[in-house]
Amino acid sequence: MLLWERLKNACVSAGYARAASQLATQGHYEAAKSLMLNGVKETVERKKAIRRLERVKKAKASYEPGDHYMRGHKVAFWKGHADA
pLDDT in tens, 42-68: 889 988 988 898 888 888 888 776 666
Domain-located, residue 41: yes
Contact yes or no for 48/42 (Cβ under 8 A): no
Give me the pLDDT at residue 37, please: 92
Q: Look at residues 44, 19, 50, 46 and name the one whose alpha carbon lies nearest to residue 33.
A: 19
Who contacts 40 (Cβ-Cβ below 8 Å, separation ≥6)? 16
Amino acid at 81: H
The alpha carbon of 20 is separated from its chain's Cα centroid by a whole number of angstroms, namely 25
Domain-located, residue 71: no
Range of the domain at 24: 2-65
> Stretch 3-31: mean pLDDT, rounded?
91
CA distances from 37 to 44, 47, 67 (A): 11, 15, 47
- Total domain count, the chain: 1
Domain-located, residue 82: no
User: In this structure, what DSSP letter does residue 80 have?
Assistant: T
pTM exceeds 0.75 for this model: no
